[in-house]
């Protein structure tokens, strides 16, 4: 059970990393997440059922997610629609898109080859752990490489101080669109991986995924301070695994899994309140005392 929770944590960490780009770098909430996650699942599962290889199916899912992010970005920057409302509009529209892709509310991968089947020689759940580790290493490496480019620095500057970035000649609207595209592409990747692990895609599979992603983000931030960017991305992975272990603990205590989402929300709420509780009690952070550039 513990290995299963860890493997799930690795896959859901991809979602947390995708959310990090908008919630922490660009500093605005993107509700497209609850549409792009099931979109990635729908595209990947439909592609596999149609005979496309799991790897190519994942690439198609990422492109679909980037398309969803582009739609939100254009509504937000060009249409001047508030970012939250833009995300809601795209999220709602994607529900119909997912139905159109799958031709039904859900689609399973029964007797279909999944990405994890390439490592079927490994013990149960270890194939998911192995794939999750590979994906996370590649993803974090690509993100760090991107942030060290001029484009990446412009992206970070847009989130830090938009007015200053604009005065330096940075097209901040383009940076926001780029951020939404990359973020939702990564989120769709998470949807594709989770769907292949679960063995099915569902049009309602995006409900509540923001809570899971933010929990990974917040738990990592609460536990670890004084982190550089690369280390911060790694703490999201740790937070995701710990979150899945906490949910496992709740299930092991005998609580009805039908109400697992309320436990998820309670766990996230507690994690969000911990910094305030520490300040009220005059306690220090667990690791370090501040952020490092």
| 87-143: pLDDT as tens digits | 999 999 999 999 999 999 999 998 888 888 888 777 788 889 999 999 999 999 999
* Alpha carbons 158 and 177: distance in angstroms, whole number: 11
Tell me which of 46-50, 74-78, 119-123, 286-290 is least confident. 286-290
* pLDDT, average across residues 68-91: 94
| Res 211 pLDDT > 60 | yes
* Alpha carbons 41 and 28: distance in angstroms, whole number: 24
In this prediction, what percent of the chain has a pLDDT beyond 90? Answer: 55
How do residues 150-166 score in pLDDT, each as one tens digit?
999 999 999 988 889 99
| Res 217 pLDDT > 80 | yes
Position 281 scores a pLDDT of 76
What is the chain's mean pLDDT, rounded? 87
Q: Are 14 and 115 a contacting pair, CB within 8 Å?
A: no
Position 283 scores a pLDDT of 59
What are 93's two structure tokens?
């529209």
Backbone angles phi, psi at 200, to 5 degrees: -165, 165
* Alpha carbons 206 and 11: distance in angstroms, whole number: 15
How do residues 3-40 score in pLDDT, each as one tens digit?
888 989 999 999 999 999 999 898 888 899 999 999 99
What are 20's two structure tokens?
């990090």
Among 263, 259, 181, 257, residue whose Cα is nearest residue 215: 263
Q: Are 18 and 183 a contacting pair, CB within 8 Å?
A: yes
| Res 291 pLDDT > 50 | no
* Alpha carbons 155 and 163: distance in angstroms, whole number: 13
Task: Give residue 75's pLDDT band: very low, low, confident or very high (50, 70, 90).
Answer: very high
How do residues 196-209 score in pLDDT, each as one tens digit?
999 999 998 888 88
Position 285 scores a pLDDT of 44
Domain coordinates of the chain in residue numbers? 2-206
């Amino acid at each position: 059970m513990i290995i299963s929770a860890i493997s799930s944590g690795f896959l859901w960490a991809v979602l947390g990393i995708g959310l990090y780009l908008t919630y922490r770098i660009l500093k605005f909430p993107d509700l497209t997440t609850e549409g792009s996650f099931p979109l990635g699942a729908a595209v990947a599962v439909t592609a596999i059922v149609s005979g496309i290889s799991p790897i190519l199916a994942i690439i198609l899912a990422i492109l679909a997610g980037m398309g969803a992010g582009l739609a939100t970005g254009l509504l937000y920057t060009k249409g001047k629609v508030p970012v939250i409302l833009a995300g809601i509009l795209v999220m709602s529209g994607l529900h119909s898109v997912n139905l159109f892709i799958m031709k039904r509310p859900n689609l399973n991968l029964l007797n279909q080859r999944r990405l994890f089947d390439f490592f079927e020689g490994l013990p149960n759940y270890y194939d998911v752990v192995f794939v999750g580790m590979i994906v996370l290493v590649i993803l974090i490496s690509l993100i760090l490489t991107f942030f060290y480019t001029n484009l990446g620095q412009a992206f970070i500057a847009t989130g830090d101080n938009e007015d200053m970035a604009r005065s330096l000649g940075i097209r901040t609207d383009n940076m926001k669109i780029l951020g939404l595209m990359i973020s939702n592409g990564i989120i769709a990747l998470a949807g594709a991986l989770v769907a292949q692990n679960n063995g099915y895609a569902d049009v309602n599979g995006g409900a509540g995924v923001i809570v899971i992603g933010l929990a990974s983000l917040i738990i990592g931030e609460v536990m670890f301070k004084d982190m550089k960017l690369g280390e911060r991305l790694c703490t999201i992975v740790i937070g995701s695994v710990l979150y899945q272990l906490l949910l496992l603990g709740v299930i092991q205590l005998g609580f009805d899994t039908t109400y697992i989402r309320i436990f998820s929300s309670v766990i996230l709420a507690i994690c969000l309140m911990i910094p305030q509780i520490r300040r009220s009690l005059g306690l220090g952070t667990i690791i370090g005392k501040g952020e490092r550039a």
